[in-house]
A and B are shown apart, each in its own frame.
Chain A
Amino acid sequence: MTERAIDHDGRAIALDQDGHLLDPDDWSRSLAVEMARSDGLTLTDAHWWVIDFVRAYHARYGTPPLMRVLMAEFRTFRNDPGLSSRDLYRLFSENPVRQACRLGGHPKPEWCI
């Protein structure tokens, strides 16, 4: 596996070939900001809500949420039933769940869902 690294606070933080942290304990909110910047993203409150939700979900269930679940909870958070997955893709164009996992310090989901 080809590994990469991102410089943060004077340390080289190891990433896998897809940009996920090799050691989840390296994660911090400031590192997430740095990783997002390298994606061309400036994290807003909405981005943070998604990242925090995915982290909390992973901590509780040990898996990332389904996109369907994230979408439903995002509608509730924004109190807007008219929101669609396009709105999440506007925040995370790569793939909302996968990108939030990556920026949230979790490994790449190993499943194919």
Chain B
Amino acid sequence: MTLDRRITPYNSVIMVRAKTQLNECGIDGVAVEDLRRPLLVFFHADAIELIESDASPWVRLAGQSDIDLVYCTTAWQRRRRSEPAGAARPSSLVQFWAHWLDCWRTGNTAVSDDQPLLIRLTRAQSELGWQESLEVILAAASLEMALHVRFEASAWHSLLDFPDQRRAWQQLLDFELADLEVLGLDPDPDEAALGVKYTEGDEAGSIPLPADRLDLS
């Protein structure tokens, strides 16, 4: 038996989580269709609705060469009982991150070894949205990736509106799976005691955004 040591076949890996138009999505201003190929497009959360129909512009993407569409089976099963359009294949969050990491190791994703991945949360979400955002982060943590999670104020307030979800997110701090930072709010002593870091509002604008980041909302 021989082992196939080939790493990921993808030069670009992108996760789509919202029901967004094809032309509204991309990485750092580069439209999806213009990302380097081979390209993997991973559909998660509400974005799985984008692959319900063969008529979807997203599904038609799969007709182009070197583009694979995959979806999170758990996100799909939470929302639908039927099968998605034929062009999309089942996958998982851990597989997404494995491809993403392989992309990085082959130099196609701008990530450095000594810097954690920055995950940004910028908007309010539903309770399921918070659950699935946490799952994205836990999947990355399961691969021992270093993670820094940054909340903007509206996102943090939204998470606090769901006490069960806030409780679930605490595992990230309690087991050192990720750092949690909140921008632009006065520190809450109770949250700070739980390990949440607060960054002053006037500092927020000066904080650089590294290239290695993922926006979850």
Contacts and interface: CB of A to CB of B under 8 A. Distances in A.
B141 interface: yes
A69 B175 contact: yes
B190 interface: no
B135 A60 contact: no
Interface string A54-72: 0001001111011111001
Contacts of A113: 92-94, 135, 138-139, 142
Nearest to A113: B139
Interface in A29-61: 57, 60-61
A65 B171 CA distance: 9
A68 B170 contact: no
A101 B93 CA distance: 21
Contacts of A67: 142
Contacts of A61: 167-168, 170-171
A110 B175 CA distance: 21
B73 A112 contact: yes
B135 A111 contact: yes
B177 A69 contact: yes
Given A61-B170, A112-B74, A66 B138 contact: yes
A48 to B, nearest CB: 21
Interface band, chain B: 20 to 34
B94 A62 contact: no
Contact of B141 (A57, A62, A68): A68
Contacts of A68: 141-142, 144, 177
Interface in B27-72: 72
B164 interface: yes
A69 B142 CA distance: 9
Interface string A88-113: 00000000000000000000001111
A66 B72 contact: no
A68 B146 CA distance: 13
A90 to B, nearest CB: 21
A62 B168 contact: yes
B86 to A, nearest CB: 21
Interface string B159-170: 000001001101
B167 A62 contact: yes
A62 B130 CA distance: 13
Nearest to A73: B175
Nearest to B97: A113
A67 B142 CA distance: 7
Interface of A: 57, 60-63, 65-69, 72, 110-113
Interface of B: 72-74, 77-78, 92-94, 134-135, 138-139, 141-142, 144, 164, 167-168, 170-171, 175, 177
16 contacts: A60-B167, A60-B171, A61-B171, A62-B167, A63-B138, A66-B177, A68-B177, A72-B175, A110-B78, A111-B135, A111-B138, A112-B74, A113-B92, A113-B94, A113-B139, A113-B142
